C-alpha cells in the first residue's frame, strides 16, 4: 500500500487531468446507457404503432447519445493517454535524475541488463496504474450511482439488486482475480528481467561462451526461461478469459434479478412493458464501466512490484554528495595523497594501504604496477566516484571533499581504457565535453587528436558503443574530447592498453604534446616510453613499493626493473 500511495502521489501535478479523463469516461458510459435506453424505448414504442410525433424524442435521443458516446470516448482516451504519456516521461526524467548521482558506486550491485529493465519496462508498466487502476474505479463508482438513482425512481428493490451485482463485479470479482493470479505477473516480470540480463550477457560474452564450450548450455538456459514465461502467460490469459466471463455472468445475474423483481409489477399496471425494456437495457449497458476493473486488479500486484524495484534504486543514498558550501577549484592543482587507505564496501581487504603520492602542478607522473595493485582505485578516488577513507587526498592543499563533485570533474579530464561512445554522431559525442563548442572548435580538436579526416564525418553515426570505429579511432575521439574540455588536470587510466604498439606510440606522442604545461597522471601496466615522466610510482598490492625516475628505478633492480625487462624481452624479435 505504501508503494501504491507513493506512485499515486507522483501524479499530483496531473490530478485534474486524470479527474477530467474519469469524468469523460463516465459521460461516455452514460451516453452508452442512454443510447441503449432510447433504442429500447423506440423499439418497444414502435411496436404499438403510435403516431410519429410520439417517437421524436426517442429519435433525437438516439442521435444525441450516439454522437456523444463516440466523441466522449475519444476525448476520454485522448485525455487519459496524453496525460499518462506525460506522466511516464516525467517518471523517466525523475528516475534518471535520481540514478545519476548513484553512479558508479551504488550501481555496481546492479547488472546492466537489470537496470535497463527497470528504466524501460518497469516504468512503462506503471501505465497500468494511471490508466487502468486510478481512473476506472472512479468511472465505475459514478456509473453505479447513476444507474442506482435512475432505477430507484421506479423500484428501490430493483435498484438494490443492481447495486449488489455492481458490487460483485466491481469488488468481489477483482478480489477473486487478484487471488487467483497472485504472483503470476510478478514472476513474469522477474523472468523478463532475467531474460534481459541473459540477452545482454549473451551478446557481450558470446566469444567467451564459445571458447569455453558453454554456448549451447547458456542457450538452453535462455530457452528454459522463455518457456516458463510462456507457461505463466498462458495461465494469466486463462484467468483473464475467466474474469471476462464472470463479468458477463454478473451482468446476466443483474438482468435476471431485476427482471424477477419488476416482472410482477407489469400485469398489475404499476410498470409498463416499455419501461421494463428500458430498465433491462440500462442495467446491461452499465456493466461496461466494470469490465476493466478485474484486469486492473490482476495487474496491480505486478505494477506495485515494478514500483518497488524503482524505489529500491531511488531510495539509495549517493556515495558522494556535494558539500553545503563547496570551495572553487584551486589555481594550484597539485595533487597529494598522504597515507591513503581504501577498501571497497563488503570487502575486508585493503585495495590501497597507506599510499603516499605527490603530483606537483604541471608535472607528468606515472603510476605503474601489476594488474590488481590498486592503480585504478586511485583514479576512482580522484574523480570522487568513492569517498576517501583513512588518509588524506587533497588538491592545492585542500581536501577533495570540499569541492563540488561536478566542478571537480569539469577540471579533471579522464581518458580511460574503455572509451564509451553513445550511439550518436561523432559531433554529439564530442559535444559531451563542451556543449557550446563551435564548428571550428570541433575541427581543431579532431586535428590535434590526429584524426582531422573526421571533420567530414562529424554527422556520421558511430554505432552502439562506437562499434563503427576502430579501437584507435575511439581513443583519439576520447583525446579530442579531452582537448575540448581543456581541463588543467588530465588522467590517463590505461588509455592505450588496448592499442597496438605503433598506434599506442602515436597516441602517446599526441597526448604528451597536448598536455604540455598541464598536470598529467598516467596509470598503466605497460612500460613503454617511461623516460618522459618526471616521476614514477610503483604500486603493488595496494602499497607504493618503489618511486623515482625511470633511470633510478632501473638501477634499483626491483619490481619495476623486472616488469620492464619482462615486457621488453617479450617485445623483442626472436632470432
Highest averaged pLDDT of the listed ranges 268-282, 312-326, 401-415:
401-415
Give the CA count within 13 Å in the CB-facing half-sphere of 559. Answer: 18
How large a percentage of the chain has pLDDT more than 90?
Answer: 16
One domain for residues 19 and 117:
yes
Q: Give the per-residue pLDDT at 570.
A: 52
| pLDDT score at 2 | 80
Query: Closest Cα partner for 543 from 344, 345, 384, 340?
Result: 340
Q: State the residue for C-alpha cell 538452453.
A: 220
Point out the least confidently predicted range of 120-124, 206-210, 494-498.
Answer: 494-498
Residues 150 and 70 in one domain: yes
- The verdict on residue 244 lying in a domain is no
> What is the band of 368 on the pLDDT scale with cuts at 50, 70, 90?
very high
**If residue 448 lies in a helix (H) or strand (E), which one and from where to where?**
helix 439-448
With CA atoms as reference, report the closest residue to 536 among 366, 371, 369: 366
The model's pLDDT over 24-69, given as tens digits with 9 standing for 90+, comes to: 888 888 888 888 888 877 877 777 777 777 777 778 888 888 899 8
How much is the pLDDT for 498?
A: 64
Shared domain for 367 and 434, answered yes or no, is yes
3-state secondary structure at position 284: helix
Residue-level pLDDT at 6: 80
Domain final position from 260, 281, 314 = 314
Q: Same structural domain for residues 176 and 272?
A: yes
At residue 539, the pLDDT reads 92
Torsion-angle region of residue 399: left (phi > 0), alpha (psi -120 to 50) or beta?
beta
- Looking at the structure, tell me whether residues 150 and 283 fall in a common domain: yes
The grid coordinates of residue 528 equal 613503454
* 524 φ/ψ sector (left φ>0, alpha ψ -120 to 50, else beta): beta
> Of 493, 431, 501, nearest to 472 (Cα)?
501
Residue 546 three-state SS: strand
Look at the chain and report how many structural domains it folds into: 2
| CB within 8 Å of 398: residues ≥ 6 apart | 327, 330
Least confidently predicted of 231-235, 329-333, 528-532, 565-569: 565-569
517 falls within a domain: yes
Q: C-alpha 303: how far from its chain's center?
A: 15
Quote the CA–CA distance of 353 and 342 in Å, as a whole number. Answer: 7
Residue 538: what pLDDT?
A: 92
Query: Is omega for the bond preceding 93 within 30 degrees of 0, making it cis?
Result: no
| Mean of pLDDT values over 354-372 | 90
Q: At 465, is the secondary structure helix, strand, or coil?
A: helix
Asked if residue 81 has pLDDT above 80, the reply is: yes
Q: Which one, of 420, 238, 404, lies nearest residue 326 by Cα? A: 404
pLDDT the model gives residue 89: 83
Residue 130 burial by CB count (10 A; 0-12/13-18/19+): exposed, middle or buried?
buried
Residues 265, 343, single domain; the answer is no
Model confidence over 494-548: pLDDT tens digits?
Answer: 877 766 777 777 777 878 888 888 899 999 888 888 888 999 999 998 899 999 9
Q: What is the mean pLDDT of residues 295-317?
A: 80
CA-closest candidate to residue 349, choices 542, 538, 108 = 542
Gap between the Cα atoms of 346 and 260, Å rounded: 71
Last residue of one domain, picked from the residues 283, 314, 345 = 314
pLDDT at 410 exceeding the cut of 80: yes
Residue 103, domain member (yes or no): yes
Dihedral over Cα of 405, 411, 417, 421: its sign: positive
Judgement on whether residues 154 and 105 belong to the same structural domain of the protein: yes
Confidence (pLDDT) at 39: 84
Residue 385 lies in a domain: yes
Residue 328 included in any domain: no
Give whole-number Cα distances, 140 to 72, 145, 518, in Å.
16, 9, 69
More confident residue, 128 or 292: 292
Q: State the SS3 of 98-162.
A: HHHHHCCHHHCCCCHHHHHHHHHHHHHHCHHHHHHHCHHHHHHHHHHHHHHHHHHHHCHHHHHHH
Which single residue is written with the C-alpha cell 543514498? 317
- What CATH number has the domain bearing residue 410? 3.40.50.300
In a domain, 254, yes or no: yes
Same domain, 169 and 307: yes
Higher pLDDT, 271 or 336: 336
Same structural domain for residues 295 and 429? no
Residue 574: predicted pLDDT: 44
User: Both ends of the chain: CA-CA distance in Å?
Assistant: 76
Q: Are 294 and 346 members of one domain?
A: no
pLDDT confidence of residue 228: 93
Q: Does residue 169 contact residue 257 with C-beta atoms inside 8 Å?
A: no
In-domain check, residue 195? no
Angle, CA 224 vertex, CA 221 and CA 225 arms, to 5°: 90
Indicate if the pLDDT at residue 366 is higher than 90. yes
Please choose, from the candidates 137, 121, 77, the residue with its C-alpha nearest in 3D space to the C-alpha of residue 294. 137
Q: 392-395 and 519-524 as β-strands: parallel, antiparallel, unpaired?
A: unpaired
Calculate mean pLDDT across residues 166-185.
Answer: 86
Assess whether 362 and 466 both reside in one domain: yes
In a domain, 511, yes or no: yes
Q: How many angstroms separate the CA atoms of 193 and 120, rounded?
A: 11
Of 332, 381, 404, the closest CA to residue 539 belongs to: 381
Other beta carbons less than 10 A from residue 136's beta carbon: 21
pLDDT band at 309 (very low <50, low <70, confident <90, very high): confident
Q: Please give the pLDDT value at position 499.
A: 66
Helix axes 439-448, 471-485, angle to 10 degrees: 130
pTM: 0.67
pLDDT above 70: residue 22: yes
- The CATH number of residue 291's host domain is 1.20.1560.10
pLDDT at 202 over 50: yes
Task: Give the end of a domain, one of 279, 314, 349.
Answer: 314
Strands of the 398-399 sheet, one edge to the other: 352-359, 335-342, 392-395, 398-399
* Cα 555 → chain centroid: 54
User: What mean pLDDT value characterizes the chain?
Assistant: 84
Output the pLDDT for position 214. Answer: 87
| CB environment 145-161: b (16+ within 10 A), e (fewer) | ebbbebbeebbebbbeb
Domain extent for 162: 2-185+249-314
Name, in order, each residue with C-beta under 8 angstroms of 368's C-beta and a sequence gap of 6 or more.
Answer: 375, 523, 524, 525, 527, 530, 536, 537, 538, 539, 560, 563
Looking at residue 55, what is its pLDDT?
A: 73
Same domain, 376 and 308: no
Amino acid at each position: 500500500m505504501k508503494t501504491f500511495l507513493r506512485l499515486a502521489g507522483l501524479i499530483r501535478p496531473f490530478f485534474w487531468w486524470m479527474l477530467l479523463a474519469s469524468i469523460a469516461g463516465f459521460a461516455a458510459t452514460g451516453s452508452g446507457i442512454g443510447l441503449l435506453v432510447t433504442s429500447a424505448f423506440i423499439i418497444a414504442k414502435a411496436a404499438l404503432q403510435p403516431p410519429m410525433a410520439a417517437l421524436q424524442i426517442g429519435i433525437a435521443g438516439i442521435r444525441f447519445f450516439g454522437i456523444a458516446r463516440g466523441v466522449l470516448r475519444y476525448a476520454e482516451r485522448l485525455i487519459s493517454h496524453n496525460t499518462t504519456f506525460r506522466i511516464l516521461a516525467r517518471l523517466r526524467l525523475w528516475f534518471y535524475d535520481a540514478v545519476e548521482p548513484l553512479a558508479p558506486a551504488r550501481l555496481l550491485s546492479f547488472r546492466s541488463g537489470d537496470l535497463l529493465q527497470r528504466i524501460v519496462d518497469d516504468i512503462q508498466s506503471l501505465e497500468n496504474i494511471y490508466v487502468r487502476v486510478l481512473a476506472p474505479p472512479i468511472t465505475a463508482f459514478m456509473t453505479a450511482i447513476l444507474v442506482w438513482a435512475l432505477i430507484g425512481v421506479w423500484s428501490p428493490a430493483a435498484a438494490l439488486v443492481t447495486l449488489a451485482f455492481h458490487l460483485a463485479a466491481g469488488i468481489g470479482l477483482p478480489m477473486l482475480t487478484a487471488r487467483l493470479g497472485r504472483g503470476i505477473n510478478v514472476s513474469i516480470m522477474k523472468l523478463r528481467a532475467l531474460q534481459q540480463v541473459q540477452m545482454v550477457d549473451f551478446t557481450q560474452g558470446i566469444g567467451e561462451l564459445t571458447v569455453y564450450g558453454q554456448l549451447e548450455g547458456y542457450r538452453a538456459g535462455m530457452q528454459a526461461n522463455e518457456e516458463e514465461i510462456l507457461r505463466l502467460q498462458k495461465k494469466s490469459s486463462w484467468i483473464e478469459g475467466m474474469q471476462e466471463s464472470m463479468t458477463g455472468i454478473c451482468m446476466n445475474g443483474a438482468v435476471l434479478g431485476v427482471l424477477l423483481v419488476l416482472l410482477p409489477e407489469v400485469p398489475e399496471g404499476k410498470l409498463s412493458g416499455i419501461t421494463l425494456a428500458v430498465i433491462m437495457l440500462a442495467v446491461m449497458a452499465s456493466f461496461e464501466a466494470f469490465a476493466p476493473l478485474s484486469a486492473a486488479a490482476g495487474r496491480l500486484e505486478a505494477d506495485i512490484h515494478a514500483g518497488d524495484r524503482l524505489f529500491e534504486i531511488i531510495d539509495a543514498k549517493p556515495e558522494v554528495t556535494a558539500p553545503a558550501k563547496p570551495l572553487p577549484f584551486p589555481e594550484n592543482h597539485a595533487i597529494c595523497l598522504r597515507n591513503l587507505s581504501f577498501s571497497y564496501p563488503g570487502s575486508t581487504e585493503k585495495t590501497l594501504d597507506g599510499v603516499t603520492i605527490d603530483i606537483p602542478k604541471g608535472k607528468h607522473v606515472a603510476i605503474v604496477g601489476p594488474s590488481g595493485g590498486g592503480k585504478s582505485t586511485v583514479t576512482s578516488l580522484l574523480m570522487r566516484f568513492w569517498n576517501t577513507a583513512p588518509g588524506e587526498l587533497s588538491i592545492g592543499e585542500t581536501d577533495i571533499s570540499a569541492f563540488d563533485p561536478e566542478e571537480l570533474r569539469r577540471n579533471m579530464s579522464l581518458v580511460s581504457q574503455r572509451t564509451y561512445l553513445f550511439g550518436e554522431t561523432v559531433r554529439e559525442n564530442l559535444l559531451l565535453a563542451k556543449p557550446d563548442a563551435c564548428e571550428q572548435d570541433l575541427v581543431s580538436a579532431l586535428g590535434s587528436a590526429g584524426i582531422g579526416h573526421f571533420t567530414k564525418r562529424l554527422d556520421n553515426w558511430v554505432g552502439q558503443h562506437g562499434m563503427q570505429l576502430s579501437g584507435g579511432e575511439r581513443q583519439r575521439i576520447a583525446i579530442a574530447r579531452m582537448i575540448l574540455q581543456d581541463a588543467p588536470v588530465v588522467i590517463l587510466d590505461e588509455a592505450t592498453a588496448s592499442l597496438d604498439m605503433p598506434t599506442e606510440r602515436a597516441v602517446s606522442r599526441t597526448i604528451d604534446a597536448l598536455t604540455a604545461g598541464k598536470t598529467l597522471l598516467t596509470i598503466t601496466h605497460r612500460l613503454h616510453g617511461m623516460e618522459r615522466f618526471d616521476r614514477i610510482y610503483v604500486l603493488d598490492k595496494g602499497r607504493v613499493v618503489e618511486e623515482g625516475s625511470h633511470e633510478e628505478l632501473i638501477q634499483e633492480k626491483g619490481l619495476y626493473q623486472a616488469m620492464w625487462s619482462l615486457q621488453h624481452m617479450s617485445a623483442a624479435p626472436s632470432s
